[in-house]
Structure 1
Amino acid sequence: MAIKAIALDIDGTLTNDRKVVTPRTKMALLAAQDAGVKLILASGRPVQGLRAIASELALSEHGGLLVAFNGAHVVDAQTDEVLYDQPIDSDTMRELIGHVRDFDVIPWITRGGELFVERSSRHVIRYRDEDLDIVEHECRMCDLVPCEVDDLLETCATPQDKLLCAAEPEYLQERWRSMAEPFDGRLSAMFTADFYFEFMAPGVDKGRALAGALPKLGIDASEVVAFGDGQNDVSMIKWAGVGVAMGNAIDEAKAAADMVTASNNEDGIALALDEILG
């Protein structure tokens, strides 16, 4: 069956380690769109954090999609029409914030173009033997404006798409089960980077978002190629007709994939598309 859509994780997949889409990969994706294939950016990032890359790859001109917050929110890149949305309800979000305060993590909520973090929160984590201002990092990567509040609960008057918790990777590896356990069956929880552990509404993942949005466009799972490298990409890789793990992907993603391509630093997407699309 012909391929009608290509779903792409961003960090560690579409972009190289310098957070850049390489010329060869960009050329391959623009050519695929010119041939009638839709591009779908599927990321843990908020919608705002996808717009620059969507513009670079001309998604709005070709009717592409933006899958944000690990699948909690899907919008049409051309019209901004919301095709799928599954936020965390306000009461559960308030309970969750109260719970994660028992851990040495930095929680924040993203809404629109703003990142909400508590004024009393630390902003720096120790990462790869260096200090990293993780709030500044997220704002820069996703084109967000930091907004400090006295109490993160102030942002919970309405449902929210996710709660992100940042901390040192070693700390999260030791504590993530304790963080997630009280919400087992009530929320989805996963790593999106070794320093990010995130909570979404129950059942939210990239595969489910694609399954909810693409039939409205007349696209079946068998007509989709999905690329990813992390834990939050596994559902999408499994769901797609052709699931592709990057050479730098975690073992879980590679095990779920139909094929493994070169790394994000070696134009793995372009190489795989040469093989799949011909």
Structure 2
Amino acid sequence: MTRIALVVSDVDGTLLTKDKILTDDAKAAVGKLHAAGIGFTIVSSRPTIGMGFLVAPLGITLPIGAFNGSSIVDAQLKPVAQHLIPSAVAKRCIDLLTDHGVDIWLFTNDKWLTRNPEGEYTAHEQRTIKHDPTIVTDFTPYIGQACKIVGASSDAALLQRCEAEMQQAVGNQAIAVRSQTYYLDVTPPGHDKGTFVVDIAERLGVSLENVATIGDMQNDLPMFAKSGVSFAMGNASDDVKARATNVTETNERDGFARAMDIVLKTGR
């Protein structure tokens, strides 16, 4: 396998267990990367406010990618590069999700906004990002600040249909892709986990062929396509696994740590 100088990891379904736990094996694996001189950072569909709790346990010093990589922040969560969904597109997305009866969240750089505090995934998101929502009756005052819009629903088939309709509705003016079977993310155009990987590699002077990426969902495919080596988690769908160069164990069986064992064997 190609010698690796930089690892970029997804968070949910990859670095964390289904209960949002960062295991000791995962922390130890990242510590070994640091000791070997291999760079490490994370990129996620999570908002900026939901990334900070991972910085210290993983010793992250490199820039981090939030909102599927459309926002880049430093290790203190201060913006390095930030992009927004065009206002007209944001309104179109909210209208479409409303028509489908899907719970809607709007994220700015520092706020999570919802009209429904009793939404079926609201408590789950609170536990996940370790942050409380701001309850609003109208998204309109915040549409010009939208870093990400999320449609949340336990009806996976409905959300899959929403994804297809959303992609048609936004065209090339935004990116619409599910980050989980129950979350449909809409993020700014022209920026994804792949562009984040390219940016970080350029900042470090690392060739893309010497970058390893690891993830579990469709929104991880752009970074798989940019990196020399990619790992799909064992809990990923078959189509995601088919697009990776390697498949590791599930996130419940420390698949991240097992993948890093392989990376460490290559050295820098």
**Fold match (TM-score > 0.5):** yes
Q: Does 1:263 align with 2:261?
A: no
Please, which of 99, 102, 119 is the counterpart of residue 102 of structure 1?
Answer: 99
| Structure 1: distance between partners of 2:210 and 2:141 | 43
Please, which of 89, 93, 96 is the counterpart of residue 92 of structure 1?
Answer: 89
Contact residue 63 and residue 200 of structure 2 kept, 8 A: no
Write out per-residue CA displacement over residues 40-89 of structure 1, whole angstroms, 9 at most, x where no aligned residue: 11110011111111221121xxx2231110111112215x4534332212
Q: What TM-score do you get using the length of structure 1 for normalisation?
A: 0.88
Write out per-residue CA displacement over residues 111-152 of structure 1, whole angstroms, 9 at most, x where no aligned residue: 24431112xx37333xxxxxxxx1122122112221111101
2:30 aligns with 29
1:131 aligns with none
- What is the CA distance between 1:109 and its match in structure 2? 1.2
SS of the residue corresponding to residue 263 of structure 2 reads helix
- What is the CA distance between 1:214 and its match in structure 2? 2.6
Contact residue 3 and residue 225 of structure 1 kept, 8 A: yes
Contact residue 8 and residue 42 of structure 1 kept, 8 A: yes
Contact residue 73 and residue 79 of structure 2 kept, 8 A: yes
Structure 2 residue runs without a partner (length 5+): none
Over 3 Å counting, the alpha-carbon distance change for 1:122 and 1:104 in structure 2 is farther
Amino acid at match of 1:171: L
1:38 aligns with 39
Write out per-residue CA displacement over residues 200-228 of structure 1, whole angstroms, 9 at most, x where no aligned residue: 12232101122133302212211211010
Bigger relative contact order, structure 1 or 2, given CA contacts below 8 A and separation 6+? 2
Contact residue 103 and residue 119 of structure 2 kept, 8 A: no
SS of the residue corresponding to residue 173 of structure 2 reads coil
1:72 aligns with 70
Please, which of 131, 136, 152 is the counterpart of residue 144 of structure 1?
Answer: 131
Which structure has more strand as a fraction of its residues? 1
| Count of aligned residue pairs for this structure pair | 263
Contact residue 45 and residue 69 of structure 2 kept, 8 A: yes
Please, which of 91, 94, 117 is the counterpart of residue 114 of structure 2?
Answer: 117
1:170 aligns with 157
The residue correspondences of 1:126-205 to structure 2 (distance < 5 A) are 134-156=121-143, 158-168=144-154, 169-205=156-192
1:6 aligns with 7
CA RMSD of aligned residues (A): 1.9
SS of the residue corresponding to residue 67 of structure 1 reads strand
Q: Percent identity?
A: 30
Q: What TM-score do you get using the length of structure 2 for normalisation?
A: 0.91
| Structure 1: distance between partners of 2:140 and 2:256 | 41
Amino acid at match of 1:90: S
Structure 1 residue runs without a partner (length 5+): 126-133
Amino acid at match of 2:87: S
